[in-house]
Amino acid sequence: MHDLARRSRRGAVDRRGVGSWLPWSGAAVCLIGSSLWPRTAAADEPRSSTEPRVMMEPGEVTNVIDAFDDIDPFDVNISLGFEYSSKSAKVVRETAINEAGLTTGGFTSNLMNVAKYSETTSKLVPRVDFGIYKDLAAYIKLPIILNNSRKLEDLDGSANKLGVVFAGAPGETLVQKLPFEAPDRSGVEYLAFGLELDILNQARDRTKPTWLFGIEGRFSIGTPMHACNPDPKEGQVECAAPGDVNRNGKTDDTKLESVDTKERDAGVTRGTVTLEAHTILSKRVKYVEPYGGFSALFEFQNSSSDYGVTDLEASLVNHPPLVGTMILGVMLMPWENREKWGRLTFDMRFTGQYHSEGRDYSELFDALGSSDAASLRNAQFARYQANPNFVDNPPKGTPVQARSIIDESSQKTYFTGLSDVQPYGSYRGSASVTWQASEFVKFTFGMGYRHDQAHGISGDQPCNPDLKSSGIGKAGPCHSGDETKSQPVTPTGQPNPNYRPTVNAVGRRFYIDDSNTFDIFASGVVMF
């Protein structure tokens, strides 16, 4: 471990060892000689009695505990963190309504207020780090969500016109009332295993920076999140399965024997396996240590989650979003006490993230996923097939048959609440303070603010153009030309089985705007 405690302890032992072997006469000679010989100050000694000693150990961000390092053969850190976040955002929708503040008619805007979204999360994060070898450590992390609550509320009178802001098919309302509160969720979020390595370490070579590389795997071990309505209509269940089109916990469709229709738990995990890699570079100059780095996060959906229901050949977006992160920051260490293993560190950080397009749990996940609107709850078939009754150039007066019809033997697909979230950027600033109180204990406290760019949360397209080579027989409505008017017909793709016009069609799509998150975090670490 190359933090203040371990380096200081080794230095103190070395100084005592040399002093204990000097005979009194030799000590006197050395004392006289030192007074006559020109003296050069060591790099880590203070230049005045009031100035703290300048150390070279890396700060909290790039420090890695280790093992088999001189007199420190083994290191273990046990920490417990607490995180609390509060998020607020505006849900808006596209509209062509000619109304003040929306449009003047003739074009579509995305300015119609739908709801005010709020979400709070409190979380405990136990973590254990093990030193493996010099500058190499492994860790285990188990975030536990104590409570996650989500709520949609009235936004500038939207609760009084739900038939407009949540309009579905003709005569249909997607969400029946505001406020809408999702059930509180709690449980283990995921189990993580990670490795971290200091490829370079300034504590070993002062001419080099400290360069950390880490990799982490996260595994969802709890129930994946399911869309729920804690206040359902009479006769309906709270968390209906996708195949339960009547929301009553059972089905009358014999073709759905392989589809789960039993009521489910709300769940708390994302239902994915995650791989995260990160690298950070820092260089300490006296009391200041600037740093910067990157990370990338890849998620792979589990078939047992609702992602599995949407993972179909013609789907445009099957995977969760990919997240890339840039980190820039500076650590300030105005005080250190090498003899007592004490240090005070201030960390100021800016983080920028890019979220790619992906299928995700949006702010409307529960509200739309638990809707009893027929346009969302009814199944759609995954494929089209060539019409066996199609006749080219039929006799005059005979209706022209479609070239492609629904394949009723294909898989039925259901709307689960997961939606195609468009790409967006996030920006977060944070500040924290870490106090190493002794050789074995340190504490951290901090807070942050994050802003998400406006982005769409229901952006699925009707056709998948990558499959247009499959031919007109599987194209369904995805073609150019009008076959009823004997025009040439050319396939432009295959129908996307996840496309729902009531929420995905242009003029019906939902967006998130003015999304802000405040968070606080604290942790305590015991070092052995």
Q: What is the DSSP string of 65-88?
A: --SSBTTB---EEEEEEEEEEEEE
DSSP-derived pairing of the beta strands 76-95 and 136-141? unpaired
Reported pTM: 0.85
Query: Do residues 85 and 158 share a domain?
Result: yes
Query: Do residues 25 and 103 share a domain?
Result: yes
Query: Do residues 216 and 235 share a domain?
Result: no
Dist. CA 494–CA 504, nearest whole Å:
16
CA distances from 162 to 102, 270, 501 (A): 16, 30, 18
Query: Do residues 108 and 238 share a domain?
Result: no
pLDDT of residue 20: 32
Contacts of 29 (CB under 8 A, 6+ apart): none
Contacts of 198 (CB under 8 A, 6+ apart): 2, 58, 62, 64, 135, 136, 210, 211, 212
Q: How many domains does the chain have?
A: 3
Residue 390 lies in domain: 380-413+462-495
Query: Do residues 260 and 319 share a domain?
Result: no
Query: Do residues 355 and 287 share a domain?
Result: yes
Query: Do residues 237 and 357 share a domain?
Result: no
- Which residue stretches of 221-313 are H helix? 307-310
Identity (one letter) of the amino acid at 210? T
Identity (one letter) of the amino acid at 483? E
What the block records as the tokens of 36 is 């006559």
- Domain termination site, one of 265, 293, 326: 265
Q: Do residues 81 and 521 lie in contact, with contact meaning Cβ atoms separated by under 8 Å?
A: yes
Query: Do residues 74 and 117 share a domain?
Result: yes
Task: Using only the alpha carbons of the chain, give its radius of gyration.
Answer: 31
Instruction: Scan for tokens 């009754």, then name that residue.
Output: 389
Query: Do residues 428 and 286 share a domain?
Result: yes
Dist. CA 71–CA 13, nearest whole Å:
9
Query: Do residues 245 and 289 share a domain?
Result: no
Instruction: Kindly give the confidence (pLDDT) of every residue in the chain, 528 residues in length, as a single tens digit, with 9 standing for 90 and above.
Output: 444 444 433 333 333 333 333 333 333 333 333 333 344 444 444 444 444 444 567 888 999 988 887 667 788 999 999 999 999 999 999 988 877 777 766 678 888 999 999 999 999 999 999 999 999 999 999 999 999 999 999 999 999 999 999 999 999 999 999 999 999 999 999 999 999 999 999 988 888 999 999 999 999 998 999 999 998 888 888 998 888 888 887 764 544 444 556 678 999 999 999 999 999 999 999 899 999 999 999 999 998 889 887 778 888 888 999 999 999 999 999 998 878 888 999 999 999 999 999 999 999 999 999 998 999 999 899 999 988 887 777 677 677 777 889 998 888 889 999 999 999 999 999 999 999 998 899 999 999 999 999 999 998 999 999 988 888 888 989 988 776 666 678 899 999 999 999 999 999 999 999 999 999 999 999 998
Query: Do residues 388 and 336 share a domain?
Result: no
DSSP string over 375-438: HHHS-EES-EEE-TT--SSPPTTSPPPPSEEE-TTSPEE---S-EEEPPEEEEEEEEEEEEE-S
pLDDT of residue 18: 30
Identity (one letter) of the amino acid at 366? D
CATH code at 506?
A: 2.40.160.40
Dist. CA 54–CA 45, nearest whole Å:
7
Dist. CA 5–CA 336, nearest whole Å:
11
pLDDT of residue 384: 92
What the block records as the tokens of 108 is 């579509």
Element (DSSP H or E) covering residue 134: none
Q: Do residues 513 and 94 lie in contact, with contact meaning Cβ atoms separated by under 8 Å?
A: no
pLDDT of residue 261: 61
